[in-house]
């Protein structure tokens, strides 16, 4: 049996795990997931239907929640689209798997085995329950493991992704581990927020986001430096910043707003923060 001490090696990792184990701050993720039992811990993309803000007041909140959930699922679709031609015999790794939504979507898309790792024991239990409930637990499995040391065999994975998780880890260490488990020609896909080092260091709004999520947002340059140092060669970079702003604007209208909406909107609009997708191949 894996002991917490084997997985959580630093005080920082223990505090991050505690945040996700208790998840006291943000009921938003559970509320959105309850729409169709697909649970995400990331943000959405695309335009929202302005009609959700009109109409009967008593159902307005319900309309907003459904629309926010549609947008967060669209974000995961966008990521899964970039994993390339994955075969049912292939394996995928979801590094920092949260409540498991993206893993379940990837399995439905490709029919292959998906393993998710997270340092939250609560999330492992929740996500494995979801996989069982959907009857995919033979193929979709969640583990209490650290993405910096996943324990999977070298070269065993066709694809690895991180959906809003790299701000919790040292990029060099994470990418070294992803490059190790990826087979040659395998694909790594990352969706992340990163700060814009063209305009200087961390802006005040970015620092507030770090504080809210106990994370450490990296500069944009660091992603490409750490990929190049670990045999991960970018094939596609998509700036999703403009596409995610509507999600934050709509969320600010909702009863599940957490107060972090304003710093996100400020950071994106002033240009100090980007929401990026980076797809890279393991050479
Ligand atoms: C913002 S959530 C994203 C969850 C999921 N990727 C999604 O899109 O719904 C961040 C996740 O990263 C995980 N995490 C943070 N540091 C980690 C580490 N060192 N190893 C594994 N998981 C980690 C957290 O436990 C949490 O599940």
Ligand 1 centroid from CA 210, angstroms: 14
**pLDDT of 26:** 67
Q: Which atom of ligand 1 is nearest to the CA of 99?
A: 9
Ligand 1 centroid from CA 60, angstroms: 31
**pLDDT of 24:** 54
CB atoms within 10 A of CB 269: 14
Residues 204-237 have pLDDT tens digits of 999 999 999 999 999 999 999 999 999 999 999 9
**pLDDT of 244:** 98
* Rounded Cα distance, 69 and 275, in Å: 18
193 and 213 in contact (C-beta within 8 Å)? no
pLDDT(21) > 60:
yes
Q: Which atom of ligand 1 is nearest to the CA of 117?
A: 21
Ligand 1 centroid from CA 171, angstroms: 14
Confidence tier at 200 by pLDDT (50, 70, 90): confident
Q: Which atom of ligand 1 is nearest to the CA of 17?
A: 25
**pLDDT of 31:** 82
Handedness of CA 139, 173, 151, 142 (dihedral sign): negative
- Which class for 224: exposed (0-12), middle (13-18), buried (19 or more C-beta within 10 A)? middle
142-149: average pLDDT: 97
Ligand 1 centroid from CA 117, angstroms: 8
Average pLDDT, the chain: 95
Confidence tier at 126 by pLDDT (50, 70, 90): very high
Share of the chain above pLDDT 70, in %: 98
76 and 42 in contact (C-beta within 8 Å)? yes
Ligand 1 centroid from CA 18, angstroms: 12
Q: Which atom of ligand 1 is nearest to the CA of 40?
A: 9
* Rounded Cα distance, 148 and 9, in Å: 10
| Atom 4 of ligand 1: nearest residue by CA position | 98
Residues 51-84 have pLDDT tens digits of 999 989 999 999 999 999 999 999 999 999 999 9
Ligand 1 centroid from CA 208, angstroms: 19
DSSP 40: -
Please, which residues have CB within 8 angstroms of residue 69's CB and are 6 or more apart in sequence?
A: 32, 33, 35, 36, 38, 40
Q: Which atom of ligand 1 is nearest to the CA of 42?
A: 8
**pLDDT of 110:** 98
pLDDT(27) > 80:
no
**pLDDT of 1:** 63
* Rounded Cα distance, 150 and 146, in Å: 6
Ligand 1: list residues with CB < 6 Å: 13, 16, 20, 40-42, 96-98, 101-102, 117-120, 123, 146-148, 163-165, 168-169
Q: Which atom of ligand 1 is nearest to the CA of 101?
A: 9
pLDDT(2) > 80:
no
Handedness of CA 270, 272, 277, 279 (dihedral sign): positive
Q: Convert 140-192 into a string of H (helix), E (strand) and C (coil).
A: EEEEECECCECCCCCCCEEEEEEECCHHHCCHHHHHHHHHHHEEEEEEEEEEE
Hey, what's the torsion of the CAs at 149, 155, 159, 163, to 10 degrees? 10
Q: Which of 17-21, 66-70, 240-244 has the lowest mean pLDDT?
A: 17-21
DSSP 196: -
* Residue of 29, 119, 122 to test ligand 1 pocket, by largest number of atoms within 8 Å of CB: 119
**pLDDT of 260:** 94
208 and 217 in contact (C-beta within 8 Å)? no
Ligand 1 centroid from CA 95, angstroms: 7
Q: Quick one: residue 112, left, alpha or beta (phi over 0 = left, psi -120 to 50 = alpha)?
A: beta
**pLDDT of 25:** 54
């Amino acid at each position: 049996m894996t002991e917490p001490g084997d997985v959580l090696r630093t005080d920082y990792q223990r505090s991050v795990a505690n945040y996700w184990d208790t998840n006291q701050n943000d009921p938003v993720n559970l509320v959105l997931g309850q729409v169709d039992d697909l649970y995400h811990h990331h943000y959405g993309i695309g335009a929202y239907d302005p009609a959700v803000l009109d109409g009967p007041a008593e159902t307005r909140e319900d309309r907003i929640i459904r629309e926010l959930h549609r947008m967060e699922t669209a974000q995961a679709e966008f990521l899964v689209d970039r994993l390339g031609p994955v075969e049912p015999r292939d394996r995928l790794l979801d590094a920092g798997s949260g409540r498991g939504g993206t893993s379940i979507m990837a399995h439905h898309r490709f029919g292959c085995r998906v393993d998710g790792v997270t340092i939250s024991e609560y999330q492992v239990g929740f996500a494995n329950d979801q996989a069982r409930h959907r009857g995919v637990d033979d193929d979709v499995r969640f583990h209490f493991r650290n993405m910096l040391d996943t324990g999977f065999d070298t070269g065993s994975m066709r694809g690895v992704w991180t959906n809003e998780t790299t701000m919790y880890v040292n990029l060099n260490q994470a990418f070294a581990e992803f490059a190790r488990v990826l087979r040659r020609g395998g694909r790594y896909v990352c969706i992340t927020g990163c700060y814009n080092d063209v305009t200087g260091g961390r802006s005040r709004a970015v620092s507030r986001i770090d504080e809210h999520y106990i994370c450490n947002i990296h500069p944009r340059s660091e992603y490409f430096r750490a990929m190049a140092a670990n045999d991960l060669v970018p094939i596609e970079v998509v700036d999703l910043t403009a596409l995610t702003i509507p999600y934050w604007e709509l969320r600010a209208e909702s009863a599940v707003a957490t107060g972090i909406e304003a710093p996100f909107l400020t950071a994106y609009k002033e240009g100090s923060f980007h929401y990026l997708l980076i797809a890279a191949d393991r050479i």
